[in-house]
Amino acid sequence: MEMELEARLLEKKFDQQLQIRTVGLREWGKEANKYNRYEATPYLALEQLFETYTFKQDDKLIDFGSGRGRVAFYVHNRFNIAVTGVEAHDTTFEEALINEEMYRKSRAHLDAPLLFEFALAEQYEIAEDYNKFFMFNPFSVHIFKRVMTNILKSYERQPRMMELILYYPLNDFIHYLRNKTPFELINKIKVKNGDHGSYGRFEIYRLTPEKNTNEEG
């Protein structure tokens, strides 16, 4: 009970510091078989991830299923790198734009680009200079495969080191990555005192220019 209270207080604390509102859930309704409900990545998990994982100044991150923007704002504020959030739910996207307006009022000193795109993840074309990709179980494995195809096409156009950061990775996603793509698991980070059980972990996968993307299928 004490840990649950601490986690809730942490949620409010970081939202207040970033001047955003990201707490709460939202179901997709008719599209629930394709896209999972809105649920922000816990700040507790993000804090533990970035105790060991970091970004370089020239890294550029895409958050697929970015929701109200929590991960985008957190990463942009902490690392001052370029971040793009891709969200397909119209109401949730509008809430992200409202959050962005409030966030920017106190973050004018951060010069890295911050952008939110209203788009289906599987149709989003990935620019050749983006190399980091974050996902918190935002959609079905079928859509995940299409997103991965787009990521690999971007790699083929411009080979570069790429990394996937998955929170709450499902077995179907893991199986596909390991058996059908050239991405390799480089780290697992278990979230301590989290509320997602055995799925409350990050798995980080890397693709380097030495690997052959022809394995993808």
Partners of 109 in the β-ladder = none
* Angstrom distance (rounded) from CA 206 to CA 86: 21
Which pLDDT score, from 0 to 100, does residue 35 have?
67
Q: Are 62 and 130 in contact (CB under 8 A)?
A: yes
* Angstrom distance (rounded) from CA 173 to CA 176: 5
For the chain, the helix, strand and coil percentages under 3-state DSSP, each to the nearest 5: 40, 20, 35
**Position 40, amino acid:** A
Q: Are 132 and 62 in contact (CB under 8 A)?
A: yes
Dmax of the chain from CA atoms? 51
Tens-level pLDDT at each residue, the chain (217 residues): 455 666 677 888 999 999 999 876 556 555 555 665 668 899 999 999 999 999 999 999 999 999 999 999 999 999 999 999 999 999 999 999 999 999 999 998 999 999 999 999 999 999 999 999 999 987 889 999 999 999 999 999 999 999 999 998 989 999 999 999 999 999 999 998 767 677 689 999 999 997 554 444 4
Partners of 39 in the β-ladder = 25
Which pLDDT score, from 0 to 100, does residue 27 have?
62
Q: Are 131 and 82 in contact (CB under 8 A)?
A: no
